[in-house]
Chains A and B, each alone.
Chain A
Amino acid sequence: MSPQTVLVKGARVLGGEPADLLLRDGVIAELGQSIDAGDARVVQADGLVALPGLVDLHTHLREPGREDAETVDTGTRAAALGGFTAVHAMANTDPVADTAGVVEQVWRLGREAGHADVRPVGAVTVGLAGERLAELGAMADSAANVRVFSDDGRCVDDAILMRRALEYVKAFDGVVAQHAQEPRLTEGAQMNEGELSGRLGLRGWPSVAEEAIIARDVLLAAHVGSRLHICHLSTRGSAEIVRLAKARGLPVTAEVTPHHLLLTEELVATYDARYKVNPPLRTADDVAAVREGLADGTIDIVATDHAPHPVEDKECEWDAAAFGMLGLETALSVVQHTMVDTGLLSWSDVADRMSFAPARIGRCDAGTAAQGRPLAVGEPANITLVDPSVSRTVDPWQSASLSRNSPYEGMKLPGQVVATFLRGRPTVEDGALT
């Protein structure tokens, strides 16, 4: 494809002063004031904030296996609408992404769809069974160029297996992304354990089950000198452990989901399974703690954990319902609402937490398809234009996702992605897919 030349006029780059950006041949060719349009198509961006294309380190695109819930095509459409130019696709598909064949298939589906770069995550263990290592090297060396490995959905709870995985991926600069959930402490768990779970009669998922694994893995990573990434950190205690680890200079990174930045366990009292997610929605105190953690850099990134499920898997008894919520199309709005409008983060910080840092952790910040690069001349033209001044009421039935399980249905959220450019080519314009 030969991208057209586009002149973005008057966008506030990272929320700063208005500037023009000339996008040509997939890169930012010029950046400055009053750039001559020439033969370029002009996109008026007065009042819009220009961010680097967002990078999601944690999504479930469900393909192969659950194409009734989502496909790579529909999931990346949702991603583009949410301002993302790259998404990492978790390995818990059917078949599991534990071989070079499956990760290459997912990667290729992403290329064919063309809405956003798809970076497959490889399973740590064969079939996510937690018994023996998957062929991590083969996935790393494949066309999919896997650098993030995770059994997400399940915890690599076996300490020796976790240690070996952490060590092994050093050979190709990989990172293990841990789903921190001590399995015995969370058997049959349905919601955050606390006074409310006792009142609602739902099996509790205690904070300690997350924190114990994070503490162990931080120590393991320190012991073997490996990078560790913590998926969907959700408690105050977890944030404290990661803060301590970083103070010691350990190479530990962590993510928080938009829903853990906004929603609390009180919603579970409706027994409406849209609010069922793993790790569960926590208390207001935990929400305050993860916001603080994201603001002070303890938590490096926001990742959506976009988890589509068909209606029948949510419209049922709480115990029987699936865990997970949609997130791609609402992530930036939730971050604006919880972090920017509250003064905790600047737009420049948002660029770091949602683009630069996740690309760095996923090692997709270099090479021909580099993501999470600065908005500067010569850099790939991966750009998201967001209008922070508008607000909208979330309607999951308007979603590009095949699924409707948004916990924000009916909520009014600020900000709207107006345009997304993937290497200079618009994937979204005027708030709609191109």
Chain B
Amino acid sequence: MIRHLLSAADLSRSDATLLLDTTEEMLRLTEGRSVKKLPTLRGRTVVNLFFEDSTRTRTSFELAAKRLSADVINFSAKGSSVSKGESLKDTALTLAAMGADGVVVRHSASGAPYRLASSGWIDARVLNAGDGTHEHPTQALLDAFTMRRHLGDLDGRKIVIVGDVLHGRVARSNVILLNTLGARVTLVAPPTLLPLGVENWPCDVSYHLDPVLPDADAVMMLRVQRERMNAAFFPSAREYSRRYGLDARRFGLLSDEAIVLHPGPMNRGMEITADVADSERSVIVEQVSNGVCVRMAALYLMLAGADETADDVHEGAA
């Protein structure tokens, strides 16, 4: 298994499949049980290092680590020395001194988890919980897991991702992971919200939503911040939702089996209407519960027996 989870690109197809299979196992072991705790990470310390507010993601990681019986420390920017200007390096050295085994990092700067993992400041396993506009690999894993539960094997499945790809980290990780798993991704956005060079990504790109909906097996709507219109990415929220929002009419263009996803938090009325978000084929709430299991699987595979594994010895020697 990989040492750090920094990008969806760190995962080979077999790694990703193992992660999703392990997630299935975690779901089976906890679903419907009154006692949801497993002893696997007893004695291990997981630090949730959040330089950026995200109650949803932090809570999900915290719950995942606790269900595996790890000791969990929440180290958030607010109320810690980070807000007093303590550097990433000093924070890392502090956590290393505390004996953290795994560090879950959320940061507004792209690449911060990468720096933490590669700088030699800390020996712990690093999990990227969202960095800047770079990546959010566990979100992509939970999306893939949710899709797999409904659609089966994702090989050849058609996934449409709609919204702010430029500023979003979810789309990046999803394109990479879904491509690894054999799915065919189409990104839909106004040209202003697509990064330069997107034509070379392993996916298709469309400026129009309607034509790609009938063939889609899943549609993922991304959050679009209304403030973007102030920087001329689109003229108005109304025009955006008219051209790219998932409303009842567009929902009707989907096949009967197609599912709707959203990584949250939603802008109801902007990228998705309330009736679609709350429809039977919306799996948005399920994504949240699957998120905990995916993070359990990641923490388990990366931390359980981490000291004894052969690759660890190898990495230590490198």
Count of interface residues, chain A, beta-carbon cutoff 8 Å: 24
User: Given A270-B118, A315-B89, A317-B88, are A200 and B111 also a contact pair (CB < 8 Å)?
Assistant: yes
Minimum CB–CB distance from B192 to chain A (whole Å) comes to: 13
Q: Is A193 an interface residue (CB 8 A)?
A: yes
Q: Is A267 an interface residue (CB 8 A)?
A: no
Instruction: Decide: B135 and A317 in contact? CB cutoff 8 A.
Output: no
Which secondary structure dominates chain A's binding surface? loop
> Which residue among B108, B111, B131, B201 has the maximum number of chain A CB atoms within 10 Å of its CB?
B111
Instruction: Decide: B131 and A197 in contact? CB cutoff 8 A.
Output: no
Residue on B nearest A311 in the bound complex, by CB: B89
A-B contact pairs, 16 of them (CB 8 A): A190-B110, A197-B196, A198-B195, A198-B196, A198-B201, A201-B111, A201-B132, A201-B133, A202-B134, A270-B114, A271-B118, A312-B87, A316-B88, A317-B88, A317-B111, A320-B109
Please give 12 more A-B residue pairs, beta carbons under 8 A apart, in addition to A199-B172, A201-B135, A318-B110: A193-B196, A194-B197, A195-B197, A197-B195, A198-B195, A201-B110, A201-B132, A202-B111, A202-B134, A271-B118, A312-B87, A317-B115
Q: Is B107 an interface residue (CB 8 A)?
A: yes
Which of B87, B89, B172, B198 has a CB less than 8 Å from the CB of A201? Answer: B172
By a CB distance below 8 angstroms, the chain B residues around A199 are: 172, 197
**Interfacial residues of chain A within 146-204, with CB under 8 A of chain B in the complex:** 190, 193-204
5 tightest CB-CB pairs across the interface, nearest first? A195-B197, A201-B134, A198-B195, A271-B111, A317-B109
Which of B110, B169, B196 has a CB less than 8 Å from the CB of A195? Answer: B196
**Interfacial residues of chain B within 89-136, with CB under 8 A of chain A in the complex:** 89, 107-112, 114-115, 118-119, 131-135
Count of interface residues, chain B, beta-carbon cutoff 8 Å: 27
What is the CA–CA distance of A318 and B108 in the complex, to the nearest angstrom?
11
Residue on B nearest A319 in the bound complex, by CB: B109
What is the CA–CA distance of A203 and B108 in the complex, to the nearest angstrom?
12
Instruction: Decide: B134 and A317 in contact? CB cutoff 8 A.
Output: no
**Interfacial residues of chain B within 163-209, with CB under 8 A of chain A in the complex:** 166, 169, 172, 195-198, 200-201
Minimum CB–CB distance from A62 to chain B (whole Å) comes to: 21
Instruction: Decide: A194 and B196 in contact? CB cutoff 8 A.
Output: yes
Instruction: Decide: A201 and B169 in contact? CB cutoff 8 A.
Output: yes
**Which residues of chain B have a CB within 8 Å of any CB of chain A?**
87-89, 107-112, 114-115, 118-119, 131-135, 166, 169, 172, 195-198, 200-201
Instruction: Decide: A202 and B110 in contact? CB cutoff 8 A.
Output: yes
By a CB distance below 8 angstroms, the chain A residues around B131 are: 201
What is the CA–CA distance of A319 and B118 in the complex, to the nearest angstrom?
17
Residue on A nearest B134 in the bound complex, by CB: A201
What is the CA–CA distance of A227 and B118 in the complex, to the nearest angstrom?
47
By a CB distance below 8 angstroms, the chain A residues around B114 are: 270-271
Instruction: Decide: A200 and B110 in contact? CB cutoff 8 A.
Output: yes
Residue on A nearest B51 in the bound complex, by CB: A317
By a CB distance below 8 angstroms, the chain B residues around A202 are: 110-111, 132-134
Minimum CB–CB distance from A112 to chain B (whole Å) comes to: 35
Which of A198, A206, A320 has a CB less than 8 Å from the CB of B198? Answer: A198
What is the CA–CA distance of A201 and B112 in the complex, to the nearest angstrom?
11
Residue on A nearest B117 in the bound complex, by CB: A271
What is the CA–CA distance of A428 and B193 in the complex, to the nearest angstrom?
55
Minimum CB–CB distance from A87 to chain B (whole Å) comes to: 32
Instruction: Decide: A319 and B197 in contact? CB cutoff 8 A.
Output: no
Instruction: Decide: A195 and B200 in contact? CB cutoff 8 A.
Output: yes
> Which residue among B108, B109, B135 has the maximum number of chain A CB atoms within 10 Å of its CB?
B109
By a CB distance below 8 angstroms, the chain B residues around A272 are: 115
Minimum CB–CB distance from A298 to chain B (whole Å) comes to: 26
What is the CA–CA distance of A202 and B108 in the complex, to the nearest angstrom?
11
By a CB distance below 8 angstroms, the chain B residues around A316 are: 87-89, 115
